[in-house]
Amino acid sequence: MTERGIYLHIPFCRGKCPYCDFYSLRADASQMEEYTRALEARIAASPRFAADTVYFGGGTPSLLGGERIARLLSAVRTHFDVAKDAEITLEANPGDDLEAFFGRIREAGVNRLSLGMQSANEAELRALGRRHTQADTARAVEAARRAGFRNISLDLMLAVPNQTKESLRRSIERCAALGADHVSAYLLKIEENTPFYRRAASLSLPCDDEAADLYLFAADELGRCGYSQYEISNFAKKGFEGRHNLHYWRDEEYLGFGPAAHSFFLGKRFFYPRDLASFLSGGAAVDDGEGGDLEETILLGLRLTEGISKERLRSRFGKAGEERFERLRKDALPFSKSGLLSIEGERIFLTTRGFLLSNAVIGKLLS
Ligand code: SF4
């Protein structure tokens, strides 16, 4: 039986971080109930299917409160066939009073937390406009463990203003000391239409070479601390790889609810516009074409350290998959000679250095 992922976007934040391009609005208590009801109605109207992951992303899903998260999870469980061992993740930000909230959502069945730590360095947190301190992160992790969470992921940002290898090393060691099971380490990207974009020149950002150095350094240090890289930006202790996001990278299906949520379902890609009012008033999703073809599977699979195997392409696409793998193996040779990619038997995968140039390498391989 094919099991899919379910994504629920909670588009509320306490305020907007100056680098952030995710769809989120300043939290408005009066909209929380209306939004929860809108999600419940969309879930009830959705086609039924089997799911093995549920992901509450944002925004800051914890702002919805424990009771509403429990209601949404109950709506998901009532409507979909959710596996007993499903991974159920929720994103939260340190700094909020999370003790009671964690207890309630753990009881409701959430079993994985993703906490927006970003850095263990107070100056870096301030430069990023974050509303929490390093001590808040420690308190959030302790509260999560007390509530019974056995799977905690921490987010880190790389190449933030004034970051050095030494400060990054301390942030990574802090993740390990807090007992994180998984670390997502994203290079800061300066997105258009953000305050950071408008004042990029005054931000003391590392140049591209320095950013690349910080990324390679982070991958090494995370490895040293027991976190194996399994995707461009994701590192985990053995057995703690994020199963929900693996659906995305393995080109498997998922259904998203909420403004800005994307879906790949029954072979089609579609998304809801970044518009809360439209979602609340029943606005439809926008068609984004077909999904899941051979080229897309290669493009996404090369984000993973497992890469692309001949067997996987064969089992999904038959003879056409096998032939494509052989062509890919030939085209990949020059990148393998320059150390950006490895070809091991019937598997092709990018190296950590290759991940840094993944867009260019994958673009050339697929052109
Ligand atoms: S808390 Fe997260 S989603 Fe909200 S504004 Fe900050 S970075 Fe964006």
Tens of pLDDT, residues 125-156:
999 999 999 999 999 999 999 999 999 999 99
- 58 within ligand 1 shell (Cβ under 6 A): yes
Distance (Å) from CA 261 to ligand 1 centroid: 15
Ligand 1: does its nearest atom lie under 6 Å from the Cβ of 93? yes
pLDDT of residue 41: 98
pLDDT digits (tens, 9 = 90+) for 313-344: 999 999 999 999 999 999 999 999 999 999 99
Q: How far apart are CA 141 and CA 77, in angstroms?
A: 27
Closest ligand 1 atom, residue 15 Cα: 5
Among the atoms of ligand 1, which is closest to the Cα of residue 91?
Answer: 2
Q: What is the pLDDT of residues 252-300, one digit of tens each?
A: 999 999 999 999 999 999 999 999 999 999 999 999 999 999 999 999 9
What separation in Å is there between the alpha carbon of 21 and the centre of ligand 1?
A: 8
Give yes or no for residue 204 having a pLDDT over 90.
no
pLDDT score, position 27? 82
How far is ligand 1, taken at its centre, from the CA of residue 207, in Å?
Answer: 24
Distance 130 CA to ligand 1 centre (A): 9
- Does the beta carbon of 17 sit less than 6 angstroms from any atom of ligand 1? yes
Whole-number Å distance, alpha carbon 293 to ligand 1 midpoint, is 33
| The pair of three-digit structure tokens given for residue 183, joined into one six-digit string | 């670390």
Tens of pLDDT along 149-202?
A: 999 999 999 999 999 999 999 999 999 999 999 999 999 999 999 999 999 989
pLDDT of residue 198: 94
* Tens of pLDDT, residues 32-91: 999 999 999 999 999 999 999 999 999 999 999 999 999 999 999 999 999 999 999 999
Taken in order of first residue, the domains within the chain and their CATH numbers are 4-247 (3.20.20.70), 293-367 (1.10.10.920)
pLDDT band at 2 (very low <50, low <70, confident <90, very high): confident
* Beta-sheet pairing, 268-271 with 286-290: antiparallel
Q: What is the distance in angstroms between the CA of the first residue and the CA of the last residue of the chain?
A: 34
